Each structure stands twice: as C-alpha cells, then as structure tokens.
Amino acid sequence: MISVEESQRLVALAVEQVMAEMQAEIAKLKQSMQEQVTSLQEALAQAKQRIAVLHTKLFGVQTETSQVVLTAEGQLHIDATWGQSQSVAPAPAEPLVQPETVVRRPRDHRGLAQRYPHLPLRESEAALPPDLAEQVAAGTLVVQRSSRYQDSLVVPAGKPFVRREYELDVLTVGSTQPLLQIVTDRIVPGGDLADETIHQLVEGKLLDAIPFHRQSTRLARVGVELPKQTMNDSVNAWGVVFAPLAQAIIAQVMASPVVHADASWQRLQAEGTCDRIHLWTLVGGGQVGYRLTTDLRHERAGELIPADFRGRLVTDAWPGWFKLPLGERLSLCNAHARRPFADWLKRDRTNAHALRIVSLYRSRPRPA
C-alpha cells in the first residue's frame, strides 16, 4: 500500500506525461498547418502576380488591384475570399512587364496646314445669320470675305482634311469700314479640331467604348497625329457646352412618374494606380440621364434624387436609397432580386430553392 504523497507524485507524473504528449501533438499539427499556410500564401502570391501580368498586358502598367478569378464554368467571378475558400494551384511565375520610358516631344505650334501638308485644304466661309442675310438680299448691307480665317481638322468617315473657314466682314453700302465681323461659333474657338471631329471623339469614347489612346492610334493610320491633351481639352469643352442640355434631360427624367436608377463605375486616370468614379444611370420618361460621384457615401442619394421628386423610384438594395424620404414610393428591382438565385444555379443546378424562385420569375406574365 502506497502513501498519499506517493500517489500524488504518480498522478503528477502521469499528468506531465499526458501534457507532454499533447504539446508534442499540438506542435506537430501547428507545424503541418504552418506549412500549409505557407504553401497557400506562396500560391496566392503567384496567382496575384499572374493576374497583375495579365492586367498589365490588357490595360497597361497602371491598373487597379483586383480579385478577379475564373469559376469552374469559365465565368469571371469577383470574390475577395477566393484565395482562402478555393484550392489554389500555383501559377507559373512570369516577370511583370516593365514600363517603357516615355519621351515627350515639344508641342508643335505651327498651323494645321503646315503640320498636315498631305491633307487636302478646303475653303469655306462663316455662315451668315438669317437676319443679316435678309438685309444683304435687300441691298442695305454688303458682305465680303475677310483675309482672316480659322483652320480646323475634320476627320469624317472618309479621308480627313483641313477646313479653312474665312471670316466675313459686313459693311454698309458705300462704306469701307466693316460694321460687323462674322465668325462661326465653335466648341473650342480657335482650336485645332472641328466640331464634328469632337463629336466623333465623344461618340467613340462614350457610345462605342473606344478610349482616346485607341482613337489616336486609329487616326495615326490615316495620317493624323493628335496629342492626348488636345483630345481631352476638346471633349471637356464639349461637356461645358452641352451641360445645359444634360441638365434639361435630368429634369425630364425626374418629372416622369417612374424613375429607374442604378450605378456602375469607371476608371479615372490618376498618378500611380487608377481611381474610380461612380456612374449613376437615371431612366424615365423615355430619357436617360447620367450623374457622376467620386464615392458611394449614402448621402449621395439625396444629391441624385431631388427633394421635390414626386414619382416612384425603382432601384437595387443600396442602403443609400433607403435614407430617402420616399416611403412606399421606393420600389426594389426584381432583376436584382432574381440575380442571387440565378447565380446560385450556376454553381448548383440542382438546388431546389433556386430552381423554384427562378421558375417563378420565368413564369411571371410580362406587362403588355
């Protein structure tokens, strides 16, 4: 028979032995998990490097960081936790594309005719206002071509040319001193680009999604080299000229009984990586209006939808919309409500709940 002290000593030894075995097992598991974590981190770093290489090839050396991956179905999928929730296969290492050295050429201050001697030169005259044309026809005023002119570059669908538009001097009968000087209004007075050329730049960028550097490459193939600064300044001037029209369209949209609103985003050139601007589309009354914001703060909703709005607003579930004092006049979009169930079917085509909801949307009668 052993004493109490001996019994306690034996128990303590047994506990120490069990604790040592447990600590050894924990250390082994910790080492194994650390090796897995290290392997996953290396694979994730290689995958991000591969994505950066692809982005560099697609968009240039200044791009945004993105977590875009491909799903098993081959579709683009954005998921910030993808590297933790999916098995990651190491991507082949590939060096990043190094940026090329940009050599800026001095600006050419010569006239368009001297800069583009290979383009045809077409002469025209400034348009005479109708009231002055009536007086000229009646013989009370005389019009003569001035020696002053403005050249502008015209890039139509066919061959580009330089338009030389002469100003007109309006004189009274028997006088040699000009009474008026007629100059055609232009989007950029005295600028290099004709109005129709600026319209094409705007349409190409906003309607056809052709950025300026690609339009510049296309123009270079027909013998026209345009600085990007000239293109940017011209399109900015276009926006100032047509701003009242844009405001009138927004007013018509907001006056309609039902307005649909949704948001997207675009890249904005900035130093280092590109910034984001948020593009809001407002549809109503047969018109489409657009607004831009630099962020997605909830108070932006009050800037997009005026306080005197009396119609019904149809939107997605962005929390900012719910801060508007619309009450029952705020409706949620069924297309957005259906989207999660349709996305779920892409991952599991046998899911009963998703199949039922999507079939209900499909069987719902469409409005006439």
What is the per-residue pLDDT across 355-364, written as a single tens digit (0 to 9) for each? 999 898 888 6
User: Looking at residue 276, which CATH number applies to its domain?
Assistant: 3.30.720
Using CA atoms, how far apart are residues 243 and 308, in angstroms rounded to an integer?
21
Residue 185 domain-assigned (yes or no): yes
Q: What is the mean pLDDT of the chain?
A: 82
pLDDT at 73 (0 to 100): 43
Phi, psi of 122 (to 5 degrees): -115, 130
- Can you tell me the mean pLDDT for 191-214? 91
**In this structure, are 262 and 213 located in the same domain?**
no
* pLDDT-based confidence at residue 282 (cuts at 50, 70, 90): very high
pLDDT one-digit tens code per residue, 208-247? 889 888 999 988 888 888 888 899 999 999 999 999 999 9
Prediction pTM value = 0.57
Among 167, 185, 218, the domain boundary falls at 218
* pLDDT-based confidence at residue 3 (cuts at 50, 70, 90): low
pLDDT at 46 (0 to 100): 87
Residue 136 domain-assigned (yes or no): yes
Residue 149 domain-assigned (yes or no): yes
More confident residue, 102 or 190: 190
Is residue 198 classed exposed, middle or buried when 0-12, 13-18 and 19+ CB atoms within 10 A define those classes?
A: buried
**In this structure, are 116 and 211 located in the same domain?**
yes
**In this structure, are 81 and 139 located in the same domain?**
no
| Residue span of the structural domain in which 46 resides | 4-85
**In this structure, are 50 and 124 located in the same domain?**
no
* pLDDT-based confidence at residue 262 (cuts at 50, 70, 90): very high
- Can you tell me the mean pLDDT for 296-315? 93
Question: How many domains, in total, are found in the chain?
Answer: 3
pLDDT at 88 (0 to 100): 38
- Can you tell me the mean pLDDT for 279-283? 95
pLDDT at 67 (0 to 100): 43
Distances from the Cα of 298 to the Cαs of 266, 295, 303, 314, 324, in angstroms? 19, 9, 10, 17, 10
pLDDT at 100 (0 to 100): 56
More confident residue, 30 or 288: 288
pLDDT one-digit tens code per residue, 172-194? 887 888 888 888 889 999 899 99
**In this structure, are 257 and 214 located in the same domain?**
no
Q: Give strand ranges (E) for the chain.
A: 68-70, 76-78, 121-125, 141-154, 161-172, 180-182, 258-268, 275-284, 287-293, 312-315, 330-332
**In this structure, are 126 and 66 located in the same domain?**
no
**In this structure, are 118 and 211 located in the same domain?**
yes
**In this structure, are 140 and 212 located in the same domain?**
yes
**In this structure, are 210 and 116 located in the same domain?**
yes
Residue 231 domain-assigned (yes or no): no
Residue 52 domain-assigned (yes or no): yes
Q: Out of 22-31, 52-61, 301-310, which region has the weakest mean confidence (pLDDT)? A: 52-61
**In this structure, are 266 and 203 located in the same domain?**
no
* pLDDT-based confidence at residue 131 (cuts at 50, 70, 90): confident
pLDDT at 105 (0 to 100): 66
Q: Which positions ≥6 away from 179 have C-beta within 8 Å?
A: 141, 170, 171, 172
Residue 50 domain-assigned (yes or no): yes
Q: Which positions ≥6 away from 347 have C-beta within 8 Å?
A: 71
Residue 104 domain-assigned (yes or no): no
**In this structure, are 197 and 265 located in the same domain?**
no
* pLDDT-based confidence at residue 336 (cuts at 50, 70, 90): confident
Q: Which two tokens stand for residue 237?
A: 């001037």
**In this structure, are 128 and 212 located in the same domain?**
yes
